[in-house]
Amino acid sequence: MPPRERPAATRARRRFASETLAAIRNGKILRIRAGTGAHRFIGIWAVVVDRRVFVRSWSVKAGGWYRTFLQEPRGAIQVAGREIPVRAVVTRGVRLKGAVDRAYLEKYQTPGSIKYARDLGRAKSRATTTELMPR
């Protein structure tokens, strides 16, 4: 069963520390491990929007991190030498997805990365917009 987005009024939103958000905002790669199994950490792109951390899958592979989070929404990220347990929550809001689109284009604008940043704004990847929240 996929992770569900609960209404804001019914959830107590946990936030990442300011230092963690700055490291994610300023870093190009976020190391992530989906699920609680003995998986390795991989590097993916992440953006910060309104003090919230978002990720998208570019390839949406069957055995990839996104599909793993759909089955088991717990995982971890590595930031500034620390491992932080996270929970993945699927994002449904159209306006929020638009803000995430813009954040990817602003953050990843080098000649080698702009194509992928644009691809992350297309329907296939946009549908995978996932918020990472500290557990």
Domain extents in the chain:
14-133
Average pLDDT for the chain: 91
Q: For residues 6 and 48, which has the higher predicted lDDT (pLDDT)? A: 48
19 pLDDT exceeds 80? yes
What architecture (CATH level 2) is domain 14-133? Roll (2.30)
pLDDT, residue 7, reads 52
Asked whether residue 36 carries a pLDDT value surpassing 90, the answer given is: no
* pLDDT exceeds cutoff 50 at 10: no
Q: Dihedrals φ, ψ of 90, to 5°?
A: -65, 135
* Tokens standing for residue 40: 């390795």
Ramachandran area for residue 76 (φ above 0: left; ψ -120 to 50: alpha; else beta): beta
- What does the block give as tokens for 105? 């284009």
Query: How far is residue 49's CA from residue 113's CA, in Å, rounded to a whole number?
Result: 19
